[in-house]
Chains A and B, each alone.
Chain A
Amino acid sequence: MQSANMLLRKIVRSSVLPFAAQHGMKKDLFPLSRSLSFSLCLKQDKSCEPSEKLDLDEWKKVMKSGLQEEVSETVSEFKELSGLAAARETVDMWRLAGKAVPESISEEQLKTFMECPSKSAKKKYLKYLYLKELHKKNNKRKMDEKRQRKLEAQDQASEMDETKRSPFVCLWSSTMDKAYNWRAAQSMIFGQPLVFDMSYEKEMSVREVTNTVSQIVMSESCNRRSVDPFHIHFCNFKDDSLYHREFVKSYREAWDKLLITVTDQCYTEIFPKDKLIYLTADSPKVMKTFDHDKIYVLGSMVDKSIKTGVSLARAKRLGLETAALPLEKYLLWSSGAKNLTLDQMMHILLTLKDTADWKKALEFVPKRKYCGFVNKPVKELRKTLDLINTLKFGKGREEVEKQFAKNYPKR
């Protein structure tokens, strides 16, 4: 190690220093920015001698000349990089190499970066930061543009100088808030309970918890805006858990004023067991209708690594009834996992509650995941499809079956 280091220094010195010495004499000839003056001088050369032969190593001189002064410093101050500084250097070099790396990176992020166990984890993390930065920038740009347009519009409006008359004072958003809160307060007393099971923190990574919380925040807001909101319960909720911290981060002061019930008790302690239905995609039972007397439980979990059967295991342990959405019955599934995000579940449940219309409710399943909606159950459809295919191709039946087996595995 030591000897290698020495060797390295020797190489650097031997290759660069003579060069620096050579050019040292010219140093006072170019008092200003070296590269600039150099190129200027080259251009002049050209103009007087147009037929000059191309100097292919010109660029090397330029690259080296611009830096002579710094060279001696860096060589003498060559220090072992350590810890954060080294990490920052690495990130900088990756950026220069044209990889997806954010422009600015905070100390905390650097630490997370260093804790990543592998190179690919590091790259992934940086890419995530990079995309985040990009989104932020784009949003900012859009906001600026919007503000600009608004200002222009205002200018025009003031030119027209036309006053509008309206019987209402313009206080829409706060009035709406009041109305929503009134409804939510009513739901706290009379509404149908909906439970979020907050006991999955151990199964998730930090980022998954963050995603979970943002999904719950979205579902809470859409619940508040609905005509007949659920009475939301957060059960198994521990103070000072990661969930809690993330909630406070996104709600700030509003966290204490939310019209929901938060408890560290389990739902089985609050509600009678026979009324609870645990919703999980792994359930063998398929939900037929939305029951207004039951209490549905949603697992507050984002599992990017598809941990099959975690929430089913929880329901089994507690001896609860389970159910899955009848996705296969109504949708021709194409791709993607059958677990939906919490806000999608909330939309679906709210729609079911209001209309009991599966078609309307399942509109909230992302379009990329299914090809179409079927009125008849897929099983019946399959029979007719098979019949058509046997009539059409004779032998193509097996193919079709295989296709179906792929899309609808036997459980």
Chain B
Amino acid sequence: VQPPERPLQSEEWNKLREDFQLPEIFEKVMLNSMIRCNSPIDVAKSLLSDLAKRNGDITYNVLVKYLTLCVQQGQVSEIRDVYDIMKVRFKILESGAYNLLIRGLSNSDQWTMALTLLEEIKKVMVPSRTCYQSCIKAASRHQEMELAFELYKEMLAKDVVPTLDVLQSFFDFSRGVKGAELQKELFGILLYLRDNQIYPHKTFMRSIKLWFESIPGENWRGRLTKIKDSGQCPVCNHQLEDSNLTEEEYSNLSERIIRDVIHGTDTFRKTSPEEFEAFQTFVEKRLPFDIVIDGLNVSHIKSRKMQCENLFDAINCLAKDNARLLVLGRKHMLMNSSNWKRETMKEMQNKAEFFFAENISEDDAFLLYATLRSGKHCRFVTRDFLRDHKACLPDSLTRHLFRKWQRGHQIVLNQNVFPVFFQQPAFRYDCVVQTTGDTWHIPYKDVFEEKYSYQVPRNWLCIRQKL
């Protein structure tokens, strides 16, 4: 339906309604298309007047749609009128209307009303993150930074995840303002990014940079850069944090993996107690390994080659420098078949240790265990992202630890260059927001660059204080 361009009289609306196939939903469809076309508000008003005349009442649904149109066009007085009407008609509103009202009012000079509305929502439900976003932005726009931070903390306490927009607005509106308290809060946000392994996008990064450089009398300088593989920042020659976990994190992670990934609710789901015990004694006797290989995964790298040849190539490649290898496989690999030749298997067993699990067991769990047990220097080879194992970990903190450890220890074989063998270097440095007090290093992603969850950004913002 094409909405009319000017307000219509009742008769004209009637005519339109009669022409429409489903007169019951005429208003709904018409208002939706008005929202889509961003029609003048007067047109919608004339429709509402017609409705009020016909039925003596306007349904909530229609009011909300009208409200959407008002918010879209920033008609503050209309928003207030609609709110007054709704307030009288209904005891409470539902989240859609609240979101709209808050969004509409927070952008106007009546932004304090948005705050009262937020209080009202809290009585019946947890406000959505967009509600908080609007209120926080409104508060910081009016330099009520304390209030904005109060709302931000409340939001975190309620487990509502803030949008990057909110975080960015803090930096945008604090530009040029001096204050130790404020600075502390903003550093707190940067540490929030660090703890949750969130990477800001380019515009957000720019806001951070500008804020740092605008602090009066502190002389911060920011530069964009790329970190070397060694983990050194080319701008300030600062060595980034190591990707290794601390002793405590490490033991914590290995404990959790054994408990939640290998055993889980039922040890029989991934292995069996006898098998796991056998594996444990096997590993303990031969510790430590340098590289643990997921045999089956590696053997499928090139589909044109025989599976055992693939594995053989990989082992030959990795067996340099007397590295101690452990290959995990399944028992079916020992059966002489078209894909697994007995002679090749024998030869491989001379070069590396092998452990063969039952055909129905999950070898990935063993891979994790053996690698963790061997110590921090040990790395593992598989193309698997291990997402299902990460998902077995119950809390996000351990999952972050897992991801960090994985980044530092997983070697991925590239099937195109193999067997010349390109190893994705396991990262030596940790890719998170980090600080030493007088320097900050912040990884960021290009907005347009597509980033998978397993990838880390290569671009960094280096900020340091010149004294």
Interface of A toward B, CB cutoff 8 Å? 1, 4-5, 7-8, 11-12, 15-16, 33, 35-36, 38-39, 42-43, 54-60, 62-64, 66-67, 70-71, 74, 80-81, 86, 89-90, 93-94, 96-98, 119, 284, 308-310, 312-314, 316-317, 398, 401
Contact = CB atoms under 8 A, between A and B. Distances in A.
Contacts of B95: 119
Contact of A86 (B57, B92, B119): B92
Given A59-B45, A96-B94, A284-B359, 8 more contacts: A8-B116, A11-B113, A15-B84, A33-B56, A59-B48, A62-B57, A81-B91, A316-B268
Given A93-B60, A94-B94, A97-B94, A56 B124 contact: no
A89 B60 CA distance: 14
A119 B90 CA distance: 21
B269 interface: yes
A96 B269 contact: no
Nearest to A63: B85
Interface string B104-132: 00000000010110011001111000000
Given A15-B80, A93-B60, A97-B61, A4 B115 contact: yes
B61 A314 contact: no
Contact of A93 (B88, B93, B113, B269): B93
B113 A81 contact: no
A90 B123 CA distance: 12
B177 interface: no
A310 B269 contact: yes
A401 B7 CA distance: 62
A314 B272 CA distance: 11
B128 to A, nearest CB: 8
Nearest to B61: A98
A293 B91 CA distance: 68
B360 A38 contact: no
Interface in B55-91: 56-61, 64, 80-81, 84-85, 87-91
A42 B53 contact: yes
B49 A59 contact: yes
B268 A317 contact: yes
Nearest to A317: B268
7 contacts: A39-B53, A54-B7, A63-B52, A98-B61, A308-B269, A309-B270, A313-B266
A12 B7 CA distance: 30
A97 B360 CA distance: 52
- Which are the 7 A-B pairs with shortest beta-carbon distances? A35-B56, A313-B268, A93-B94, A4-B119, A96-B60, A59-B52, A62-B52
B118 to A, nearest CB: 8
B49 A97 contact: no
Interface in B408-466: none
Nearest to A46: B10
Which of B42, B54, B92 has the most chain A CB within a 10 Å cutoff?
B92
A59 B94 CA distance: 22
A284 B92 contact: no
The contact size tier of chain B is 35 or more
B396 interface: no
Contacts, number: 135
Contacts of B116: 4, 7-8, 11
Nearest to B47: A59
B14 interface: no
B127 to A, nearest CB: 11
Interface of B: 7, 9, 28, 42, 45-46, 48-49, 51-54, 56-61, 64, 80-81, 84-85, 87-97, 113, 115-116, 119-120, 123-126, 266, 268-270, 272, 303, 359-360
A234 to B, nearest CB: 22
Given A86-B124, A317-B268, A58 B52 contact: yes
Contacts of B113: 11
Nearest to B10: A46
Nearest to A70: B88
A310 B266 CA distance: 8
A63 B58 contact: yes
B268 A63 contact: no
Which of A1, A4, A71, A308 has the most chain B CB within a 10 Å cutoff?
A4
A35 B95 CA distance: 28
A59 B116 CA distance: 26
A90 B92 contact: yes
A12 B87 CA distance: 8
Nearest to B9: A54
B360 A312 contact: yes
Contacts of B97: 97
A36 B94 contact: no
A310 B268 CA distance: 8
A39 to B, nearest CB: 5
Given A55-B49, A89-B124, A96-B59, A316 B272 contact: yes
Which of A11, A57, A86 has the most chain B CB within a 10 Å cutoff?
A11
Which of B56, B125, B272 has the most chain A CB within a 10 Å cutoff?
B56
B56 A57 contact: no
Given A80-B123, A309-B269, A39 B52 contact: yes
